[in-house]
Structure 1
């Protein structure tokens, strides 16, 4: 382990020196304020392979020294028995434990350093710190919050900077260009279980019937995995007086679509499957026929945590998506997380569902409306404490030298 001491006028400069000279794997052992700035002691983590090789060499030398006196005796004095081979991996548990402890120490030090860096920003850039905290309180990811703060700059008072930041956030939200209710076509809704796909199908169908007539709509479901899964859609079909067709296993989707070719809008409700379900790719394959003009929309629940939403988008995004629909907005406590995923994954949002009423609780997505709802939710909910808002994302980014 190589240990080195650094002096710098501020914590960010010191951290930058550590990373430039010792790399991203350097471990901060201590830090303290000194005259003229700060002092940091850092070390480069050990090379596990080198230590393992050294441990093996020590073990081999030990065995050789034990065997030398025995070699001087006659072979008749040695017992005729197989000698168990000593494991050259006997040191691995020790190394694994050492590695775990060092990682734990590194995490602890990095968290402490994040807090110091955040405190430094609060003292030297209070407007920027407040802006970051308010964005994080909305549920916005630390990465996106820093990006918006960078573009916002520092010219203006707190209210001016906040309005500019919200404008930048709204401008970044991707919104789908096509309007299903105006254009019609073949539209499939995909997504995990329980996000409201069937209800969204019913809302779109009802709106289209009111605008163009019930003879212009057909409903199809591919969900034959669950007993009675399509009964809800059949109920909506009876209420709207539109046909509902269940695709049986092995049945050709293209033939069914051809049967309803005279309908302006065909909505396909799919089985809800978790993003880790092994059957997911197989189930979605029938929607990816290049000869079928199907527009696929991912249905996301605003109540799902940001990390969960990101995983869902990555898994379902393996097939081409035309956009998404955001449901259960009325049940969400924070909306910034969903907006962060849409922005970072560049997935355009087409419609927003904010209730169970069919067809009332449905609206075309508008970026400024979504940001306004995110702000209202943050004001109504509990504020995120300053120390929580700063760590680990914001504080570590400051420590890494990000502005």
Structure 2
């Protein structure tokens, strides 16, 4: 028997190394998370031994959920034609089922009196997460392979959307709506039309509607610069008598100085929320202004001051329209984290910045579509106020298409996107 241990950044890379070195006949003996990634032990000609697992009621429920998912996948596999799945995929899936089923089947035979130690619980959770990753990886690979074979047109559309940077959650419903279309070019045009309809843009410009407008978001996304563009745009159109600026950013001296300079150039008043003074109290002397623009501090989600700042914006009497500023250069996970951190203040929409530096618009558009946030403005350069636009849906989608990557996505990327897709489930079943 040949046994080898592999270290990799994630389960997918570890499995690829097993295939390359030991082949499809290898058995997975154990998996666990370690510093820097995962550790996977695999062997050739390995006979699985019965194992005794210490009882853990909390994890048993988790294991049963995973086992149910695996059993459902097995039923789908068995219902397929014999030529639908490769022997390697089926064998690896069966190995995962065997690994997950063992502790669940063993527990009813034992008297579940004692609980596992904290260290054992963490180890079991780590193993469970690794097994789930392995299962999702295999199902994704099978789903993508079947989609390419059985629905080549949809597979081609998946690739084009992935090159635009759109998330799987946005792509899936669009592909479902064009599933009946047989012509690929027509399906692509229809899909873009559905995407255009999904992107919301306001009928009236935010600063023309007036009121208190606050720009929120993490540090570095361009909040202060965007506020300067909005202020200059308003002054050039309506004059300086009915607009004021307010800063909640007491953390960066540079931000305050920038607002002071802007106020002096545009001849508009600039106020600051002082210590011990609420935002509502700061806004009271400005009640006669038609537009009040608020610049906020970009604080980490873990900073307690962020919660206080967002509570001030959503407090009774403030009535601010809060816009999440999202840099088009940010990764999807960063944008998701920002939305989760700032949604508590109530978001009227979003502003997409730094389009001139972006290599993709899909991540930002996915957030706007997925969370029904109207895109109030976009910015694409440093010029004030020239590089500020009021977008239209078709313009945003057209620009996203133009910015799509020229590189073809890897098979692993496509398999990962296919996990959980209704179209993929149909192709597997």
TM over 0.5: same fold? yes
- Report the equivalent of 1:390: 414
**Alignment partner, residue 130 of structure 2:** 104
Where 1:220 maps in the other structure, the secondary structure is strand
Kindly tell me: are residues 101 and 261 of structure 1, through their superposed partners in 2, closer, same or farther at Cα, counting changes over 3 Å?
A: closer
Structure-2 change in CA distance of 1:155 and 1:27 (3 Å)? closer
Distance 1:271 1:91 in 2: 40
Matched with 1:211 is: 237
CA distance in structure 2 between the aligned counterparts of 1:201 and 1:92, rounded to whole angstroms: 50
1:247 aligns to 2:273 (yes or no):
yes
Consecutive unaligned residues of structure 1, counting only runs of 5 or more, are 1-18, 61-86
Alignment of 1:75-90 (within 5 A): 89=116
Secondary structure of the residue aligned to 1:323 is strand
Higher deviation after alignment, 278-287 or 193-202:
278-287
Offset at residue 336 of structure 1 (A): 0.9
Task: Choose 162-171 or 314-323, whichever is displaced more.
Answer: 314-323
Q: CA deviation at 1:170?
A: 0.9
Structure 1 residue 189 displacement after superposition: 1.2
Q: What is the CA deviation profile of residues 156-188 of structure 1, one whole-angstrom value per residue up to 9, with x for unaligned ones?
A: 422211111111111101223442232222111
Residue among 392, 396, 401 paired with 1:375: 401
* Aligned residue among 299, 315, 318 for 1:292: 318
Q: Equivalent of 2:69, from 21, 24, 28?
A: 24
Structure 2 residues not aligned, in runs of 5+:
1-63
Shift of 1:210: 0.6
Q: How does 1:1-400 map to 2 (within 5 A)?
A: 23-26=68-71, 40=90, 42=94, 43=97, 45-46=100-101, 48=103, 51=106, 89=116, 93=120, 100-101=126-127, 103-378=129-404, 381-397=405-421
Offset at 1:190? 1.3
Q: Verify the 8 A CA contact 1:28 1:109 in the aligned structure 2.
A: no
Q: Secondary structure at the match of 1:309?
A: helix
Aligned with 2:345: secondary structure?
A: coil
Q: Measure, in 2, the Cα distance between the counterparts of 1:383 and 1:240.
A: 46
Distance 1:227 1:215, change over 3 A: same
Deviating more after overlay: 277-286 vs 132-141: 277-286
SS for the counterpart of 1:23 is helix
Sort the Cα spacing of 1:140 and 1:238 in 2 relative to 1 into closer, same or farther, 3 A. same
In structure 2, distance between residues paired with 1:365 and 1:274 = 29
Query: What CA RMSD, in Å, does the superposition of the two structures yield over aligned residues?
Result: 3.4
Output the CA distance in 2 between the equivalents of 1:53 and 1:216: 73
Deviation at 1:257, TM superposition (A): 2.2
What secondary structure does 1:325 align onto?
strand
SS at match of 1:199: helix
- In terms of mean alpha carbon deviation, does 97-106 or 365-374 score higher? 97-106
Distance 1:27 1:358, change over 3 A: same
SS in structure 2 at match of 1:238: helix
Instruction: Provide Cα deviations, 1:270-289, integer angstroms capped at 9, x if missing partner.
Output: 11112332221112222222
Report the secondary structure of 1:176's partner residue: coil
Say if 1:106 and 1:26 are closer, same or farther in 2 by CA, change over 3 A.
farther
Pairwise CA distance, 1:305: 1.2
Pair 1:399–1:55, CA change in 2 (3 A): farther
- SS of the residue corresponding to residue 241 of structure 2 reads helix
Aligned partner of residue 359 in structure 2, secondary structure: coil
Task: Return the alpha-carbon distance in structure 2 between the equivalents of residues 220 and 36 of structure 1.
Answer: 66
TM-score by length of 2: 0.73
Q: For the Cα contact (< 8 Å) 1:224–1:249, is it kept in 2?
A: no
Return closer, same or farther for 1:205/1:161 CA change in 2, 3 Å cut-off.
same
- How big is each residue's C-alpha offset from its partner over 1:130-165, in whole Å with a ceiling of 9 and x where there is no partner? 011101110111121121111012424222111111
Structure 2 Cα separation of the partners of residues 34 and 296 of structure 1: 54
Superposition deviation, residue 105 in structure 1: 4.7
Q: Is the 8 A contact 2:147 2:424 kept in 1?
A: no
With over 3 angstroms needed to count, the CA separation of the structure-2 counterparts of 1:111 and 1:291, relative to structure 1, is same
Aligned length: 354
Please, what TM-score do these two structures have when normalized by structure 1?
A: 0.77
**Aligned partners of 1:302 and 1:328 also within 8 Å:** yes
Aligned to 2:425: 401
